[in-house]
Amino acid sequence: GAVVSQHPSRVICKSGTSVKIECRSLDFQATTMFWYRQFPKKSLMLMATSNEGSKATYEQGVEKDKFLINHASLTLSTLTVTSAHPEDSSFYICSARDGRTPGGGEQFFGPGTRLTVL
């Protein structure tokens, strides 16, 4: 299957700082990337959908000024958590889809980034 990488895998930062997480599709062109947040022992909560070259679509309740998403190329999307606070601590996972697949392709997940805000 296709490979999606995510960097960093783990980050610890002080409250008030901004953190950037990168999501890359390594062997396919991802026309659409998704960003999820997962709390311990909970399901994946979709935060936003990003399409290459256009603005991200945020889910209800997700602050777009807090979680900045950029999908500048077909292989890279970034999520920036701005002015992070302890309540932003979570496991963030991206996924990528090859939109050229008819009927909508499978989503391939990155390995996740564990963010801890002190």
Partner 1 sequence: GENVEQHPSTLSVQEGDSAVIKCTYSDSASNYFPWYKQELGKRPQLIIDIRSNVGEKKDQRIAVTLNKTAKHFSLHITETQPEDSAVYFCAAKFGNEKLTFGTGTRLTIIP
Choice between 1 and 14, CB closer to partner 1: 1
Choice between 67 and 108, CB closer to partner 1: 108
Paired tokens of 26 = 């390594």
Min. distance of Cβ 65 from partner 1 in angstroms?
A: 21
Min. distance of Cβ 109 from partner 1 in angstroms?
A: 4
Min. distance of Cβ 25 from partner 1 in angstroms?
A: 14
* CA–CA separation, 28 and 77 (whole Å): 13
Choice between 8 and 104, CB closer to partner 1: 104
Residue numbers at the binding site for partner 1 (CB under 8 A): 1, 32, 34, 41-44, 46, 49, 91, 93, 99, 103-104, 106-112, 114
- Asked if residue 35 lies in contact with residue 50, where contact means CB atoms within 8 angstroms, the answer is yes
Give the residue from 81, 76, 86 showing the smallest Cα distance to 47. 81
Reduce the DSSP state of residue 87 to 3 states and report it: helix
Choice between 16 and 104, CB closer to partner 1: 104
Min. distance of Cβ 58 from partner 1 in angstroms?
A: 12
Element (H, E) at 7: strand 4-7
How would you list the strands of the sheet with 67-73, edge to edge? 4-7, 19-25, 76-81, 67-73
